[in-house]
Amino acid sequence: MMGTDRSPIHPEWVTGFVDGEGCFSVGLSKNVKLKLGIEVRPSFSVSQGSASKQVMEELAAYFNHGSEQLRVDRYTLKYESRSAEHLRKVICPHFDSYPLRSQKVVDFLILKRVLDMMSKGEHRTGERLKDIVTIVYKMNLDPNSKSRRQHPIEYWLSILDRDAL
């Protein structure tokens, strides 16, 4: 948590940083190995230019991860947590204690709701998975309140409807 010449990272700073540079999301992917054909993938990430490596290492350490959680993509460093357990036990409690102030709070609350549904196994039943799909399409909207997702919501719902037949 401490850089060589820095004081420990402060929780309120973490929230402010994430308000500006973070992302809470729930990905959906087609997976024929799953009974319902759709995998639900919750995620929290923060990206920065590679010049901010020390800050990103401190952030990873703050969330109980080492620098092995940092991924380099060209000139960008990305810290990401995709473990539902880590998200529930470490990430969510931080933002419950140190709330976000931007629109990202909506995405965070949706992520929390989906994680709760997943912990109850609800992503394994058709009707509840439909609810999850509907909920996640309210995340990460563009300035016109439109989804930025590759597929329209109907794509995922048709997979579930097809499997229900």
**Domain coordinates of the chain in residue numbers?**
11-164
Residue 30, C-beta contacts closer than 8 angstroms, at least 6 positions apart: 37, 38, 39, 159
> What's the confidence (pLDDT) of residue 74?
76
CB 54 within 8 A of CB 3: yes
* pLDDT per residue of the chain (165 residues) written in tens, 0 to 9: 434 455 688 999 999 999 999 999 999 999 999 999 999 999 999 999 988 989 999 999 999 886 667 888 778 999 999 999 999 999 999 999 999 999 999 999 999 999 999 999 999 999 999 999 999 999 999 888 999 999 999 999 999 987 554
Residue 79 is predicted with a pLDDT of: 93
Q: Are 76 and 47 in contact (CB under 8 A)?
A: yes
Domain 11-164 in CATH 2.170.150.20: no
Q: Residue 89 carries which DSSP code?
A: I
Token pair recorded at residue 137: 């399409």
